[in-house]
Structure 1
Amino acid sequence: MKILLVMDPGILVPPKGYGGHERLVYMFAQEYARLGHEVHLLVTTGSEVEGCTVHSFGKEGFPPKKWDARMAIPTAWRFLWKHRNKFDLIHNFGRLAYLLPILNDPIKKIMTYGREISSRNIQLINKLPNRNLVFTGCSKDLISRVDAGGRWEAVYNAIPFHKYTLKAVVAEDAPLMFLGRIEKIKGAHTAISVAKATGHRLILAGNISPLTEERAYFEQEIKPHIDGKQIEYVGALNDEQKNHYLGQAKSLLFPIEWNEPFGMVMTEAMACGTPVIGFGSGSVPEVVKEGVTGIVVKDAVEMIAAVEKVSSINRQKCRVVAEAQFDVPVVAAHYLNLFKY
């Protein structure tokens, strides 16, 4: 099969640093190619994916300049219309508008969402003639907030489990871990209060948001608690550092205060064998298998109690169960099977 993956221009594939969907595009392109498919990508100029053909699409730079962002749509239109008979499947991680010229073309089309979805845009598309179009969201919870019609399927995000090392045993006094952007809705302040209430060390990791209100949140609610002993802030982490810190943790705390569409860090922790204790908002009840890969709680009080129980979770089984659901080959197969039923 001949497959084209599409991503908004601005961030290279694979990304040098931040780039959630760009990472997914890279992983799925590699997996589709490994399965023997001919893979093409319409992505940022300068991207390179071994074994795949890259078609240049806009300049590197995030966020993109307004003019570059505007020009991305007609550029995608021209490419897709010109090559519409050359591909068997278009897998679009970029803007829905890119698909307009080929909506009613018989080519198979997957439109993938990893963040909040505009029901209005979907409604407009569904009013137009269209064929062989499947919408996917990275969790059932995310899709449940869409009121727009069309065919929808929950396909979870993936991570490459082979890049993470299982730590089957950790000490009873192993630290707790918080990994995510340091902003209020992610709940770092709650993680700190849970660590203090249970007497555990806490490894705090993630970017500090540049937004004024979030910077103030860090300075006022987080920084005063960082003492380098019980509460340690280690900054933003690369993949190797995540593997190290997550692997040595007793549990990843995920005390979110919003409807997280997926939460990749939860699966990264599970890949190391580290169970997750998370608030039951958004995708958390879907991603965490209760008592197997973690514990879902309602509030900080329940999270404190869960810290004392989390050691009973088998870390090896945690990884095995998560891998069977979130590893790249599993999720890629889900995408490729969308048109078989």
Structure 2
Amino acid sequence: MNILIVNNTPIPATKYGGTERIIWWLGRELNRLGHKITYLVGEGSSCPFGKVLTYDPTKDLDQQVPDNIDVVHFQFQVSGFTKKPYIVTVHNNPGGAQLDLNSVFVSANHADRHGSTVFVHNAIDTADYQKPDLNNKRTHTHFLAKAAWRIKNVKGAIDVATMSGNKLVVLGGTRLNLKMGLRFTPNLNVRFKGMVGDEAKSVVMNSSKALLFPVLWHEPFGIAIIESLYFGCPVFGTPYGSLPELVPAEIGLLSASKSELAAGLKNIDSFNKQYCHQYAADNFNIGKMAATYLELYERVLNGQALNSEQPKLINHDQPKYLPWNN
């Protein structure tokens, strides 16, 4: 099958980049399975296992898609595209927009909130990480997200770590942040690593007790969750969005109360690192994700629409930040 993957940013992602990493891993796995991969992506991209074309946002997409493509996999909403069968993965919370009939969500909760049942869980390609050392001494907790985004709640993670007597390593932020207003974190119990790649993340996670993930929105998926579990780290987060779906009680604790999460961290030894690792390896591997997308490609190639009606957000009455309590 000739598959075109389309996104409006460059690949590969060297540090931060959720969608970019997912489509890189997906394309590499599909290529390994014998499919021909072409990317239509941002300027400056390169790829050793697929052809790369430069996406031009000023041009009609029908003109940019090669004639020999069988199916197109968009990573953003499109309008008026008719040249080839296609699907659209929704990676974010798109608000009140009406979405394409062939939209695919990244968790069951994400789909359900938009009146759909079509989803494919994200996955990681473990080839890009160090091997987990489940016997390694665990010395700290970690936060893994774009810390400048208030919805990711790095302040809450710092509070939970401090209340539980744990050190925290922040992956995805700096002590002084000027991009979204002046923010300075004086707490010396916290180390900031900035934006890091998979190799640097692996080092931190291989010696981490747990991921602190107290998000304040309905998280569509959260790749940080499965990365951390793969390294044997249970997840301590809020019960919003996909988290109850991804984090059963055996591998973490979900609560909107910082004191409850801090108390749970004091009993961190009740979680089994090997179980966390195996759960991630079994359920969120790149082979499983690629196989599910191939099924969806076949459906649209056979002329089926993935949804019976256009998905859209069902409940518009949502606060900007979900509750976070003492």
1:81-96 equivalences in 2 (<5 Å): 83=67, 86-96=68-78
Aligned to 1:312: 270
* Partners of 2:55 and 2:160 in 1: CA distance: 46
Q: Give the CA deviation at 1:33.
A: 0.8
Aligned to 2:240: 281
Aligned to 1:139: 107
3-state SS in 2 of match to 1:295: strand
Q: Give the CA deviation at 1:322.
A: 0.8
TM-superposition CA deviations, 1:171-190 (whole Å, max 9, x none): 4x721112222233222222
Between the two proteins, the alignment pairs up a number of residues equal to 295
1:11-50 equivalences in 2 (<5 Å): 11-50=9-48
3-state SS in 2 of match to 1:250: strand
Normalised TM-score (structure 2): 0.82
* Partners of 1:3 and 1:32 in 2: CA distance: 9
Tell me, yes or no, if structure 1 residue 177 matches structure 2 residue 154: no
Tell me, yes or no, if structure 1 residue 77 matches structure 2 residue 62: yes
Aligned to 1:202: 168
326 and 77 in structure 1: CA distance in 2 versus 1, 3 angstrom threshold = same
1:291-306 equivalences in 2 (<5 Å): 291=250, 293-306=251-264
Q: Give the CA deviation at 1:237.
A: 2.1
The structure carrying a bigger helix percent of its residues is 1
Aligned to 2:122: 157
Report the AA paired with residue 157 of structure 2: A
TM-superposition CA deviations, 1:287-339 (whole Å, max 9, x none): 21321x32222311210121023322221221111122212111111111225
Aligned to 2:51: 53
Aligned to 1:254: 213
Gaps of 5+ in 2: 300-326
Aligned to 1:120: 97
Q: Give the CA deviation at 1:120.
A: 3.5
170 and 17 in structure 1: CA distance in 2 versus 1, 3 angstrom threshold = closer
Q: 2:186 aligns with which of 224, 248, 256?
A: 224
Cα RMSD for the two superposed structures: 2.3
TM-superposition CA deviations, 1:107-158 (whole Å, max 9, x none): 5421101101355332xx55xxxxxxx32111222222325xxx65111122
Q: Give the CA deviation at 1:207.
A: 2.5
Normalised TM-score (structure 1): 0.79
164 and 317 in structure 1: CA distance in 2 versus 1, 3 angstrom threshold = farther
Q: Give the CA deviation at 1:12.
A: 2.0
3-state SS in 2 of match to 1:330: helix
Tell me, yes or no, if structure 1 residue 167 matches structure 2 residue 125: no
Gaps of 5+ in 1: 59-68, 127-133
* Partners of 2:13 and 2:158 in 1: CA distance: 31
Residues 55 and 64 of structure 2 are in contact (CA less than 8 Å); yes or no, is this contact kept in structure 1? no
TM-superposition CA deviations, 1:48-84 (whole Å, max 9, x none): 22232222223xxxxxxxxxx4x04x2x22123x62x
* Partners of 2:226 and 2:141 in 1: CA distance: 16
Structure showing greater Rg: 1
283 and 203 in structure 1: CA distance in 2 versus 1, 3 angstrom threshold = same
Residues 157 and 212 of structure 2 are in contact (CA less than 8 Å); yes or no, is this contact kept in structure 1? yes
3-state SS in 1 of match to 2:52: strand
Residues 267 and 326 of structure 1 are in contact (CA less than 8 Å); yes or no, is this contact kept in structure 2? yes
Residues 276 and 295 of structure 1 are in contact (CA less than 8 Å); yes or no, is this contact kept in structure 2? yes
3-state SS in 1 of match to 2:87: strand
3-state SS in 1 of match to 2:81: helix
Residues 155 and 331 of structure 1 are in contact (CA less than 8 Å); yes or no, is this contact kept in structure 2? yes
Residues 30 and 50 of structure 1 are in contact (CA less than 8 Å); yes or no, is this contact kept in structure 2? no
| Larger RCO of the pair (alpha carbons < 8 Å, separation 6+) | 2
* Partners of 1:23 and 1:305 in 2: CA distance: 34
Q: 2:202 aligns with which of 243, 249, 258?
A: 243
Residues 118 and 146 of structure 1 are in contact (CA less than 8 Å); yes or no, is this contact kept in structure 2? no
3-state SS in 2 of match to 1:153: coil
Report the AA paired with residue 265 of structure 2: V
